[in-house]
Structure 1
Amino acid sequence: MFLKKLHWTFKRHPFLYISRFWLLSKNSSASAIANTSYNTLNTKESIPSCFFKVNERIFEHGKPDTDLECIKKLVTWLNRHTHVGPGVSAPSDRALQIMMYGKGGVCSDIAQIFNNFCVINDIQVREWGTTSVPFNVGNGGHSFNEFYSKELQKWILIDASLGVLFYGAQNNLLSVLGLYKKVRLGHAIEYRTIFKNNAIENEQIVKNYLNSDITPFLICDYRNATYDRFLKIGRPFIPVFVIHFLVYLLGKSYHYKFPLDNYKKIFN
Structure 2
Amino acid sequence: MLLKKIRWTLKRHPFLYMSRFRLLSKNSNEDAISSISYNDWNNKKEIPKYFYDINSKIFEQGKPDSDLEVIIQLSTWLCKHTKVGPGLSEPSAKALETMVYGKGGVCSDMAQIFNNFCVINDLKVREWGTTSAPFNRANGGHSFNEVFIKELNKWVMIDPSWGMLLYNEQKEPLSVLELYHLSRMGQTVSSYCFIEGKTIEDSQLRKNYLNSDITPFLICEYRNKTYDRYLNMARPHVPVFIIHFFVYLSGKSYHYKFPIDDYKKIFS
Whether the TM-score (by the shorter chain) exceeds 0.5 is yes
CA-based RMSD of the aligned residues comes to 0.7
Offset of residue 197 of structure 1: 1.3
Aligned residue pairs: how many? 268
The aligned residue for residue 216 of structure 1 is 216
The aligned residue for residue 14 of structure 1 is 14
Q: For 1:202 and 1:107, locate their aligned partners in 2 and report how far apart those are by CA, in whole Å.
A: 18
Q: For 1:105 and 1:171, locate their aligned partners in 2 and report how far apart those are by CA, in whole Å.
A: 31
Aligned ranges for residues 112-191 of structure 1 at < 5 Å? 112-191=112-191
Q: For 1:255 and 1:7, locate their aligned partners in 2 and report how far apart those are by CA, in whole Å.
A: 23
Q: Deviations over 1:39-68 (max 9, x none)?
A: 111011110000001000000011001000
Q: For 1:237 and 1:72, locate their aligned partners in 2 and report how far apart those are by CA, in whole Å.
A: 37
Q: For 2:202 and 2:195, locate their aligned partners in 1 and report how far apart those are by CA, in whole Å.
A: 14
Offset of residue 130 of structure 1: 0.2
| 1:241 lines up with 2:241 in the alignment | yes
The aligned residue for residue 104 of structure 1 is 104
Offset of residue 3 of structure 1: 2.3
Q: For 1:177 and 1:106, locate their aligned partners in 2 and report how far apart those are by CA, in whole Å.
A: 23
Q: For 1:7 and 1:229, locate their aligned partners in 2 and report how far apart those are by CA, in whole Å.
A: 21
Partner AA of 1:98 in structure 2:
T
The aligned residue for residue 73 of structure 2 is 73
Q: For 2:125 and 2:217, locate their aligned partners in 1 and report how far apart those are by CA, in whole Å.
A: 15
Offset of residue 70 of structure 1: 0.4
Offset of residue 158 of structure 1: 0.2
Q: Deviations over 1:219-244 (max 9, x none)?
A: 00000000000000010111000000
Q: For 2:95 and 2:117, locate their aligned partners in 1 and report how far apart those are by CA, in whole Å.
A: 13
Offset of residue 215 of structure 1: 0.2
Q: For 1:251 and 1:166, locate their aligned partners in 2 and report how far apart those are by CA, in whole Å.
A: 36
Give yes or no for contact 2:85–2:105 (8 Å, CA) kept in 1: yes
* SS of residue paired to 2:31: coil
Offset of residue 2 of structure 1: 2.2
The aligned residue for residue 199 of structure 1 is 199
Q: For 1:211 and 1:81, locate their aligned partners in 2 and report how far apart those are by CA, in whole Å.
A: 30
Structure 1: stretches of 5+ with no match in the other structure: none
Q: For 1:170 and 1:267, locate their aligned partners in 2 and report how far apart those are by CA, in whole Å.
A: 37
Q: Deviations over 1:26-49 (max 9, x none)?
A: 000000000000011101111000
Offset of residue 246 of structure 1: 0.2
Offset of residue 247 of structure 1: 0.3
| 1:56 lines up with 2:56 in the alignment | yes
**Runs of 4+ that moved beyond 6 A:** none
Partner AA of 2:74 in structure 1:
L
Partner AA of 2:134 in structure 1:
P
Offset of residue 203 of structure 1: 2.1
Q: For 2:92 and 2:211, locate their aligned partners in 1 and report how far apart those are by CA, in whole Å.
A: 31
Partner AA of 2:191 in structure 1:
Y
Instruction: Name the TM-score, length of structure 1 as normaliser.
Output: 0.99
Structure 2: stretches of 5+ with no match in the other structure: none
Q: Deviations over 1:85-125 (max 9, x none)?
A: 00011000000000011111000000000000000000100
The aligned residue for residue 232 of structure 2 is 232
Q: For 1:14 and 1:261, locate their aligned partners in 2 and report how far apart those are by CA, in whole Å.
A: 21
